[in-house]
Structure 1
Amino acid sequence: MPSEGRECVSIHIGQAGAQIGNACWELYCLEHGINQSGFLEDSIDEKKMNSQSLQAFYSESSNGKYVPRAIYIDLEPTVLDEIRTGQFSGLFHPDQIISGKEDAANNYARGHYTIGKELIDTVLERIRKQAESCMGLQGFLVFHSFGGGTGSGFSSLLMERLSVEYGKKSKLEFSIYPAPQVSTAVVEPYNSILTTHCTLEHSDCSFMVDNEAIYDICRRNLNVECPSYVNLNRLIAQIVSSITASLRFDGALNVDLTEFQTNLVPYPRIHFPLATYAPVISAEKVTFK
């Protein structure tokens, strides 16, 4: 069971990281019985609710509101503006959503060296505030893609800085790896190689997600003819929720982030476990299984 002071901070970087973050926090809120404004649903008896398990991923404000321990970062504001004005806008504090003025244009160097450098100190300051609100920070969950400019360039810059400032804290990655059939930019292979090289020393465990495989699952198992990113992200959220369930609820295995390393990583540099999820059943077929 998560003891007091075992908090995790989630960091969502770039468009992919932010949109997966939306799907994940929507699902976490459903699982914990928290509404869109951050308050526990009236139908749930608060005494039965294990408030300690909520503390791992949520901080409680003085008026009883639960705020996700999360930071959203993008170098351009479009995607994050959707969060600021969307259905879960009441869940996050405005300081948790950080956007720049121009995007990295799928360019690793812009995300890491030029535009990213202007934003990094602000981001680290906001992360420091999140860390200070924790009784005992376990580590960070970093959500990003390897193909985009922000997801690759800015992520590797941030991981390097986190290693310097929070040396012993665990860092788990949930990464969207580029697939040849589902490519949004011609430079994705370069971005992914550069960011893999940079983050190899700074990440403790990295869960890879392949868009192409998830497209196939949506078509084959869920009968979605033309899957959108919303479909993909909801499926990824189910996987992330299953992986982090032991951090958020009472469990015997993988109760903290260091246990993920102990149980899944044979050598420090070989830290890429394959996430598999079954069964994936569509809503129409669920009554027949």
Structure 2
Amino acid sequence: MYVIKMSPFQWHPVIYEVFVDLEPKVIDEVCTGSYRQLFHPEQLITGKEDAAITMPVATTPLARNCLALDSICKRADQCTGLQGFFVFHSFGRGTGSGFTSLLMERLSVDYGKKSKLEFSIYPAPQVSTAVVEPYNSILTTHTTLEHSDCAFMVDNEAIYDICRRNIDIERPTYTNLNRLISQIVSSITASLRFDGVLNVDLTC
């Protein structure tokens, strides 16, 4: 979520993060990794079971019980002027598809007037790791369509090609891909973070 917070001198944007996964493996790596001191444990939320990489499993009551709304509500209550939410997720896996669909639906109900910007990673056949990814993508696209104010789609294969052809990285890592995506996010949010005659609020 992104907010405008009041300092003694001026308003400035502040980001509050919540990381969610229905199985603990990936977030456990964050908790024990070199960036563990950047995040409070309440920001890192995991389930006890895997979503089995499928959207239907991720939309069961198990996922609902794991829903991170309590953590999001706590951070929203801390905001002087909540502007909206950034939602980062993949379309091909269980948490990114099914759980995110539920989450965005709840955000629409609880924070209907706040903008929701969606940054999505679309799977590609050439770099796919699961046969169910196309099905998850179709179901998630249909479900999240009415709950997103603006969606930025990143094609998995295309971003690999950009790294290879434009940046001369023969074997891109997740770090390379994430840094490239972060440049997209940085450019999109520049008008929110910097003052200027041509810059506008994302919620206008």
TM, length-normalised to structure 2: 0.91
Contact 2:87 2:118 in 1 (8 A): yes
Partner of 1:94: 41
Partner of 1:152: 97
Partner of 1:71: 18
Bigger radius of gyration, 1 or 2? 1
> 2-side partners of 1:191 and 1:244: how far apart?
28
Contact 2:22 2:48 in 1 (8 A): yes
Q: CA RMSD in A?
A: 1.8
Residue 254 of structure 1 and its aligned partner are, at CA, apart by: 5.5
Partner of 1:82: 29
- Counterpart among 152, 175, 194 of residue 230 in structure 1: 175
3-state secondary structure, aligned to 1:209: strand
> Residue type matched to 1:238 in 2?
Q
Residue 51 of structure 1 and its aligned partner are, at CA, apart by: 6.9
147-156 or 178-187, larger mean C-alpha shift? 178-187
Seen in structure 2, the aligned counterparts of structure 1 residues 94 and 252 have a Cα distance that, compared at 3 Å, is farther
The reply to whether residue 112 of structure 1 matches residue 70 of structure 2 is no
Contact 1:152 1:191 in 2 (8 A): yes
Contact 1:170 1:204 in 2 (8 A): yes
> 2-side partners of 1:186 and 1:254: how far apart?
43
Residue 114 of structure 1 and its aligned partner are, at CA, apart by: 3.8
125-134 or 231-240, larger mean C-alpha shift? 231-240
The reply to whether residue 179 of structure 1 matches residue 124 of structure 2 is yes
Encode CA deviations 1:27-63: one digit per residue, 9 max, x unaligned. Answer: xxxxxxxxxxxxxxxxxxxxxxx8743xx224xxxxx
Contact 1:71 1:97 in 2 (8 A): yes
> 1-side partners of 2:97 and 2:32: how far apart?
26
Seen in structure 2, the aligned counterparts of structure 1 residues 104 and 254 have a Cα distance that, compared at 3 Å, is farther
Partner of 1:38: none
> 2-side partners of 1:239 and 1:93: how far apart?
26
Percentage of pairs with the same residue: 68
Q: Which runs of 4+ in 1 moved over 4 A?
A: none
Seen in structure 2, the aligned counterparts of structure 1 residues 145 and 253 have a Cα distance that, compared at 3 Å, is farther
> 2-side partners of 1:200 and 1:109: how far apart?
17
Residue 98 of structure 1 and its aligned partner are, at CA, apart by: 0.4
Contact 1:6 1:256 in 2 (8 A): no
Contact 1:146 1:188 in 2 (8 A): yes
Contact 2:4 2:14 in 1 (8 A): no
Residue 192 of structure 1 and its aligned partner are, at CA, apart by: 0.7
The reply to whether residue 202 of structure 1 matches residue 200 of structure 2 is no
3-state secondary structure, aligned to 2:65: helix
The reply to whether residue 6 of structure 1 matches residue 4 of structure 2 is yes
The reply to whether residue 57 of structure 1 matches residue 14 of structure 2 is yes
Which has the higher relative contact order, 1 or 2, with Cα contacts under 8 A spaced 6 or more apart? 1
> Residue type matched to 2:42 in 1?
D
Structure 1, unmatched stretches of 5+, are 8-49, 59-68, 260-289
3-state secondary structure, aligned to 1:70: coil
- Kindly indicate which of the two structures has a greater share of residues assigned to strand: 2
Partner of 1:283: none
Seen in structure 2, the aligned counterparts of structure 1 residues 97 and 51 have a Cα distance that, compared at 3 Å, is farther
124-133 or 82-91, larger mean C-alpha shift? 82-91
Residue 253 of structure 1 and its aligned partner are, at CA, apart by: 4.5
Contact 1:246 1:252 in 2 (8 A): no
Structure 2, unmatched stretches of 5+, are none
Residue 249 of structure 1 and its aligned partner are, at CA, apart by: 2.2
Number of positions where the alignment pairs a residue of Structure 1 with one of Structure 2:
200
Contact 2:84 2:115 in 1 (8 A): yes
Encode CA deviations 1:90-119: one digit per residue, 9 max, x unaligned. Answer: 221111110111111111011112431221
